[in-house]
Amino acid sequence: MGKAGEKSIKHPIMDMEIAWRKAKTWLCPPYDRETRDEVQNLIDTNPDALYDAFYKELTFGTAGMRGIMGVGTNRVNRYTIGKATQGLADYLRERFPAAREIKIAIAYDCRHHSRAWGTVCANILSANGIQVYIFEDLRPAPELSYAVRHLKCQAGIVLTASHNPPAYNGYKVYGSDGAQVVPPRDKAIADRVNKTRTADIKWGGNAARIEWIGQAVDDAFIQACLREAHHTTTGKKELKIAFTPLHGTSIKLIPQALRAAGFENIHIVEAQAEPDGGFPTVKSPNPEEPAALQMVLNLADEVGADIAIGTDPDADRIGIGVRDLKGRMTLLNGNQTNTVLMSYLLKRWRESGRLNGAQFICSTLVSSDIFYSLAKEYETELKLTPTGFKWIGKAIGESEGQLEFIGGGEESFGFMVGDFVRDKDSVASTLLACEIAAVAKAQGSSFFRELLAQYAKHKLYRDRQISIVEKGAEGAKRIQRWMRELRENPYEALDGSPVTRIADYQRGVACESKEKTERPLTGIPASNLLIYHTEAGSKVAVRPSGTEPKIKFYISAQATLDRVENYEKTQVRLDEKIDRITAEMGIKSH
């Protein structure tokens, strides 16, 4: 079970006919000559590429619209960007009919065409009578989230494909709360976009309604980060930091923010400091992939850094390397980083007398179970959400006026400190991580030892994520078959331990194996996610990615850590358990 199926370049005749008819409409105005020539070339020479470019429309997923750049309805280009923006403008006019003025903030990253498409968005929105605030140069996505709230906008847009490879670009939409849009608004926007024709787009622009923003918003954002993530000056001058923006937007703010917080010993990977959408020094600019952070680890060894930090192109994800018990630089996964950040925040809140039972933290369903223990230790509510920070933003919005938000994170290298930003934020997270490292060093400890202290207090959790890429229409079908097989023919045991519970968040039910009953899963939005739990405490979650052609597996195992000195031995034992589970399920990245 779980086999992906055979690859094929053949497509159903009816589907191919639909794709061909769509492509033919791109052979005349209003599409420009360059676009028409590219489409004609696909028709003449590459039917498979034509099919993938036109067989469907790009849709809003867990992080907006994202895809490969190129011609076609299933590609990111000025026309799909234009349709999305015109549809968004029409939606906002319908949603805010009595607004004296509708305002939108726009940011863009370093990717090819991002700046140009940001200008396209500004022109379309201003031509629709909307006031536009657009950053004068590339900026981190979390700063856009902040700017929406700071400038009291009804919406925001970021042109980015986050951590995806160079061929990708995308379009994130934010609501007035600074969080990415969620149901039913994302569907309402998508429906409005789908009703929009290319001929409906108002391309002209109105310069009087476009305002360029920059340093003033930067300064306000950095001050907000300092208020939430800067608690002490202890050890900051002595901490050595190695940093890389991976050719992305964080170079604009993180070095400034670190210096404003009192850090002086900052070393930047010069070969990766220049923004570049081709990402020439890495295969993929994703801090989740160890190869992407190799240069910053090398720099850390060269300068004797205590901590190494790398961010993805739009600066929402953060990767961290620290010294292990033997003094070697080692990369942490997202759950490990978030464990240390969360425990430190909770400790600070308790020490300052701010914990009174009216606070909460957030994590996602596929993240580590250690956050249950942290919430219990500090008598704080834990809210779980589906994967994607838009759901954490939604949880914050629903709790306003009732509960205070302390922090939240997900396993995919994202964390958020406080609620002044409503998206994962590497800027404030970097400040917090470096403060933890500085305080620990001053006290004769380290960031890594702080992690082990949490494992000894709670349990040692070992996590592994495996992503299997399945490109194109046929790949999407293979992913669907895999999910269906795991639902219809579930495993009864994994690594010799009985499966005690299977939670299906698409159906909204959990099957308790011992009782052979189904119970409703309440309070969590539906998503295509399946989670197996075993008697031994292992967990396997599986879901299709909402932004990439992948199926993702999250495998977790746990054990008691009796002594910090036994960490490596216990970790090896858990890794072997995860190896057995992945082999049993036939899960192998390719």
The model's pLDDT over 52-72, given as tens digits with 9 standing for 90+, comes to: 999 888 887 555 789 999 999
Q: At what angle do helices 47-54 and 472-488 cross, to 10 degrees?
A: 60
DSSP string, 55-110: SS----BTTBEEEEBSSSTTSBSHHHHHHHHHHHHHHHHHH-TT-S--EEEEEE-S
How many CA within 13 A on the CB side of residue 173? 29
Residue 133 β-bridge partners: 105, 211
Question: What is the rounded distance in angstroms from the CA atom of residue 557 to the CA atom of residue 273?
Answer: 37
Parallel, antiparallel or unpaired: strands 550-559 and 307-311? unpaired
Cβ(210)–Cβ(136) under 8 Å? no
For residue 323, the SS3 value is: strand
For residue 251, the SS3 value is: helix
Question: What is the rounded distance in angstroms from the CA atom of residue 123 to the CA atom of residue 125?
Answer: 6
**Cα dihedral across residues 510, 395, 253, 321: positive or negative:** negative
Q: Per residue in 435-467, is it b (16+ CB within 10 Å) or e — as a string?
A: bbbbbbbeeeebbbbbbbbbbbebbbbbbbbbb
For residue 315, the SS3 value is: coil
Q: Residue 442 corresponds to which tokens in the numbers above? A: 């001053």
Q: At what angle do helices 334-351 and 426-442 cross, to 10 degrees?
A: 70
Q: How is residue 422 annotated by DSSP?
A: B
Peptide bond into 313 cis (omega under 30): no
**Cα dihedral across residues 329, 333, 336, 340: positive or negative:** positive
Question: What is the rounded distance in angstroms from the CA atom of residue 473 to the CA atom of residue 54?
Answer: 11
Peptide bond into 184 cis (omega under 30): yes
- The total number of residues shown for the chain amounts to 590
Q: Mark whether 162 is an active-site residue.
A: yes
CB under 8 Å to 522, separation ≥6 — which residues? none
From edge to edge, which strands make up the β-sheet containing 103-108?
65-68, 168-175, 155-159, 103-108, 131-135, 210-213
Parallel, antiparallel or unpaired: strands 550-559 and 460-469? antiparallel
Residue 175 β-bridge partners: 155
CA of residue 56 relative to chain centroid, distance: 24
Question: What is the rounded distance in angstroms from the CA atom of residue 273 to the CA atom of residue 280?
Answer: 11
H helices of 352-497, in order, are: 370-377, 389-399, 426-442, 447-457, 472-488
Match 């070969």 to its residue by tokens: 271
Domains and CATH numbers, the chain: 56-213 (3.40.120.10), 220-457 (3.40.120.10), 460-585 (3.30.310.50)
Match 């076609």 to its residue by tokens: 72
* Burial of 274 (C-beta count, 10 Å sphere; 0-12/13-18/19+): exposed
Taking Cα atoms as reference points, which of 165, 182, 86, 70 lies closest to residue 129? 86
Taking Cα atoms as reference points, which of 205, 163, 173 lies closest to residue 105? 173
Q: What is the pTM of this model?
A: 0.93
Active-site residue (options: 114, 126, 162, 363): 162
Q: Residue 412 corresponds to which tokens in the numbers above? A: 């995919």
Question: What is the rounded distance in angstroms from the CA atom of residue 328 to the CA atom of residue 313?
Answer: 27
Query: Which pLDDT does position 12 carry in this prediction?
Result: 60
What does the H/E/C string look like for 505-540? CCCCEEEECCCCEEEECCCCCCCCCEEEEECCCCEE
Question: In one letter, which amino acid is 269?
Answer: V
Question: What is the rounded distance in angstroms from the CA atom of residue 77 to the CA atom of residue 63?
Answer: 17
Question: Which ranges of the chain have pLDDT less than 50?
Answer: 1-9
Q: How is residue 317 annotated by DSSP?
A: B
Question: In one letter, which amino acid is 220?
Answer: A
Widest CA span of the chain, in angstroms? 71
The model's pLDDT over 205-240, given as tens digits with 9 standing for 90+, comes to: 999 999 999 999 999 999 999 999 999 999 999 999
